[in-house]
Structure formats: structure tokens, C-alpha cells
Amino acid sequence: MSGRRNTSSPESPRGFRRGLVLFQRLLGRGALAGIAMVLVALMGATAASAYWTAAGTGSTTAAVGTLAPPTNVTVPANSTSSVPVAWTASAGPTVPTGYYVTRITGATSMPACGSSPAALITGTSCTDSSAPEGTHSYVVTAVHRSWTAVSAASGNVLVWSMQSATFTVQPANVVAGQTLPAVKVAVRTVDLLPVMSARVTLAIGNNPGGGTLSGTVTADTDMTGVATFSGLSINKAGSGYTLTASSPGVAGAVSAPFTVTAAAASRLVVAGPASGTASATATVGPFTVQRQDSFGNPVTAGSTEVTLASNSAGTRVFAATAGGAPLTKVTIPAGAASASFFYGDTKAGSPVITGAATGLGQATAQVSVTAAAAAKLVFGQQPTNTAKGQRITPVTVLVVDQFDNPQTTSVASVTMDKTVKQGNLGGTLVQNAVAGVATFSDLTINPAGVHTLIATSPGLGSVTSAEFTSGG
């Protein structure tokens, strides 16, 4: 048994034991090979896995945007053959590629503004320049690729091709400020059909009196195509007035001429030169006293005696002609609106001339009367008593006109002297007038006694002062 591996129990039969030994050897070698094979299989081979097949469904949704229509499509109520159309652009994120405009007349729709689905307008306004006469409305369609969105229709527009307006009732002669009889203007199409709701405006055409047309000067034509103007008046008299009527697209119509006459006289108005020189006769003028109505129109109806007056403190005089016979009244005869007169006043100043007549408002006019030509000298400040040989309070000599109005523009040379020759008169004895006044400021006189001064100027004569004394 030694040297051989014991592979069985001793009690086993010999043959069986030999078999076991052989089996053991084979098993030892085979086990190693088997293990190797299993490991190779486990490590190198992909395991085959099972699965099921299945199906399933699911749903979801997607949102499609939209294209908003344009809004606020507007047209005028009336128009000639050109109709302006405007609208508000589509709102929202989808911006239109453009718009096209459709004119709707009854049940008929026509492309307008030269637009179409193939010729879009990118702005928000257009002019339908070929609209036929009739009543139309418009819709605007927004376009974004294959999408379109149509606006609501605009209001109606009345389209007509007007021929002209005509005065069917002409303005009549009227008194200034009074209401004209109703004037009527008809607006017709080229087919002489009346045009309704056309706005007509009146104005003065020929305006001989420079008047103003008052009242409601605009009116719309009625169902018969006639616009009526009531309550119009013109404030200025004149002959040959005309009115004009105008309306959009209409050639202006001109009325027949008519006359506006003055209303009743209500006041007097004096007009004339603003200034003159002092005079004992009526040399300033001519002045005109006019009879007027309340609108300033001269009134020729009736005769009016006008009393003239002045508030001057001098001697004032009125005359019908320059230097003519004095008078206090003038007469505005019938057929004339005014009378003229001249005015004279010896007192320089700004007297107010008035003209008054019964039942009429008084007229006033102020006139500036200036001094006449320098004519003489007068003492202004007389010499006063003073001590012998002392300076006399300044003495002034005025240059005046013949009415003693200061001649304030004179620069005459004035010489001072004394009337009693004995003794001396000291100081500056020759002074030039300033604004018509010569001032002697440094005069002294000797001897003591009673004196008078005498001032002389070439062409103006001389003047002697009051007496004064020089004390001892």
C-alpha cells in the first residue's frame, strides 16, 4: 500500500478499490478542466436576457396664435371723390405683413386705395382717390402670410362730385346791423342732384363799406341740398355788397349785389386838425361834425342843427369858413351827413370842442392851441426892493405873442436898462431868452431911491417894470 494513494477503505473489495482510485484520478483532472470551462463560460459569454414588447399612446395639444383685425377704421362723413381712410393697426404679437382696403357700396365690395391681397399697404392710412358718387363704407383687412383678419366697417361716407353751389335766395338790401332776410344756398352734384349734409360757409365778397358779416355763417345742406342762413347782419353801410358761398370741393358761388344802408342817427362825431395857433379869429380847421348811427355809418337823413362850444378860458370863436363871421351853430342838411367849421382861440392850451344836437350823442374833440408868433416882452418876475448896491432878486422877462401866450421857443436877446439915468445899473444887462424866458440874476442898482427897469428886444419892443426901491 505504501507509495500509492489510498482511495478506498481497506475493507473494500480489491477490484472496487482499484476502480475508485482510477475514478479519483480522473475526477481530479476532470474537475480542474470543468472548473476552467465554467469560469470561461461565466466570464466570457453574454448572458441572454428576456423582455416583453409593449405599445402605448399619449396625446397633448399645441396652441395656434391668431391675427387681430385692424380697428377704428375712420372716414369723413362727406367727401369729394377722394376719401381718406385711416385705421388702427392690429394689436397682438402677430404683426401683419400689411393691409388691404375694401370699399363697400351696398352689397358690392371693391378694392380701394390701390391695395389688394397682392399689393398690401404697410401703413395705417390711405386715400381712395377714385370713389364714385354714393354712400360707401370701408373695411381694412390685415394680412399675415396665409392669415387674414377683417376689421369692422367704417362709418358711411357720402361721396359726390359737386358742380357748384348757387344762391337760391339772394341777400336783400338791409339796414346796417339788422338781420338779413334768410339766404339760401343749394349744393348740387354734376348730375344736379341735391347734396345732403354738405357744409356751406358764407363770407362777404365785395365789401364796399368794410363791414363785418355777423351771425351763423356756416350751415349744412338739408335733404333738398339747400343750406339756409338766418340771422345774418352786416354792420357797415355800403352799396354793392356781395356774399360768397363755399364748401369743400365746390367752386365758390357769388351772390347778387345788395346794399346796406345806415341805421338811424344816434350820435355826432367831430373830427379835424389836432392843433393850431392862437388866433382871435377862427383859423384852425376845417373841423367836421358828422351825424352817425351806432355802427359809425354816416347818416344823411334829416337836418340837424349842431351847437358848437369850447371849454377854453381864452376868447374862442367858431366860423363856417376860415376867418369868417363868428357863429355858434352849424347845420347838417338833409342829404348830407356832416357840416364843417373853423375854430379860433386866443389862449394857448388844449381846449375841448363840443358839438351837441338834440337827441344825439354829443361829439367832442380836443385841439392843441399853441402861441402865435413872438410879439412883445413882459416881465415875469418883477424887480423887488433891495439895498443899494446889492444884488436884486433875479428878474425874468418873457417873450410872448400878442395874446400874452408865452412864446416858449423864442431865443430873443433881451437888454435890461433903468428908466432913471442917474446912478448905475450893474450886472449882466443882456440875456438871451431860453424857452422864451430871459433871466437876469445879478442886477444891482445905485443910488438909493425909487426905480423902474426897462427891457427891450429887437422887434419885440420894450416893457417897463413895476417900481421898486433901493435902500440907503
Partner 1 sequence: MSKVAGRKKRIIITTAALVAIGGGAAFAYWTAAGVGDTTTTAGTSTNFTITSTVAGPALSPNGSAQTFTFTVTNPGTGVQKLTNITAAVAGTNGAAWTSVTGCSKDDFAVGSPSFTATEIPANGYITGTVTLQMIDRPGVNQDGCKGATVPLHFAAS
Q: Which stretch binds partner 1 (CB under 8 A): 36-44, 209-217, 236-244, 379-387?
A: 36-44
- The identity of residue 350, as a single letter, is S
Q: Which stretch binds partner 1 (CB under 8 A): 30-38, 201-209, 297-305, 404-412?
A: 30-38
Cα 394 to Cα 274, 339, 407: the distances in Å are 37, 52, 20
Tell whether residue 61 is a contact of partner 1 (CB under 8 A).
yes
Interface positions, 151-210, toward partner 1 (CB under 8 A): none
Nearer to partner 1, 37 or 203 (CB): 37
Cα 141 to Cα 106, 149, 157, 331, 332: the distances in Å are 18, 5, 19, 81, 78
- φ, ψ for residue 441, nearest 5 deg: -105, -15
Q: How far is the CB of 151 from partner 1 (least distance, A)?
A: 14
Q: How far is the CB of 58 from partner 1 (least distance, A)?
A: 3
Interface positions, 39-58, toward partner 1 (CB under 8 A): 41-42, 49-58
Q: Which stretch binds partner 1 (CB under 8 A): 4-12, 187-195, 248-256, 306-314?
A: 4-12
Tell whether residue 7 is a contact of partner 1 (CB under 8 A).
yes
Nearer to partner 1, 53 or 358 (CB): 53
Relative to beta strand 125-128, strand 108-112 is unpaired
Nearer to partner 1, 9 or 422 (CB): 9
Closest listed residue to residue 316, CA positions, set 292, 349, 293, 339: 349
Closest listed residue to residue 356, CA positions, set 296, 291, 300: 291
Interface positions, 77-106, toward partner 1 (CB under 8 A): 93-94
Q: How far is the CB of 102 from partner 1 (least distance, A)?
A: 16
Closest listed residue to residue 70, CA positions, set 129, 130, 120: 120
List 146, 335, 359, 459, residue binding partner 1 (CB under 8 A): 146
Q: How far is the CB of 119 from partner 1 (least distance, A)?
A: 16
**Is the N-terminal amide bond of 13 cis, ω within 30° of 0?**
no
Tell whether residue 34 is a contact of partner 1 (CB under 8 A).
yes
- What is d(CA 332, CA 292) in angstroms, rounded to the nearest whole number? 11
Q: How far is the CB of 13 from partner 1 (least distance, A)?
A: 16
Longest dimension (CA), the chain: 215
Q: How far is the CB of 83 from partner 1 (least distance, A)?
A: 27
Contacts of 469 (CB under 8 A, 6+ apart): 385, 386, 448, 449, 450, 451
Q: How many residues does the chain have?
A: 472
Tell whether residue 63 is a contact of partner 1 (CB under 8 A).
yes
- What is d(CA 101, CA 138) in angstroms, rounded to the nearest whole number? 7
Say if residues 464 and 456 touch (Cβ distance below 8 Å): no
Query: What number of chain residues touch partner 1 (CB under 8 A)?
Result: 41
Say if residues 275 and 370 touch (Cβ distance below 8 Å): yes
Q: Which stretch binds partner 1 (CB under 8 A): 139-147, 190-198, 261-269, 400-408?
A: 139-147
Contacts of 411 (CB under 8 A, 6+ apart): 432, 433, 434
Q: Which stretch binds partner 1 (CB under 8 A): 142-150, 234-242, 363-371, 417-425?
A: 142-150
- What is d(CA 3, CA 257) in angstroms, rounded to the nearest whole number? 167
Q: How far is the CB of 68 from partner 1 (least distance, A)?
A: 10
- What is d(CA 164, CA 160) in angstroms, rounded to the nearest whole number? 11
Nearer to partner 1, 54 or 192 (CB): 54
Nearer to partner 1, 34 or 447 (CB): 34
Compute the C-alpha angle 457/462/463, nearest 5°.
130
Q: How far is the CB of 121 from partner 1 (least distance, A)?
A: 20
Nearer to partner 1, 52 or 122 (CB): 52
Tell whether residue 144 is a contact of partner 1 (CB under 8 A).
yes
Q: How far is the CB of 10 from partner 1 (least distance, A)?
A: 9
Q: Which stretch binds partner 1 (CB under 8 A): 143-151, 218-226, 239-247, 390-398?
A: 143-151
- What is d(CA 386, CA 405) in angstroms, rounded to the nearest whole number? 30
Binding site for partner 1 (CB under 8 A): 5-9, 24, 27, 31, 34-35, 37-38, 41-42, 49-67, 93-94, 144-149
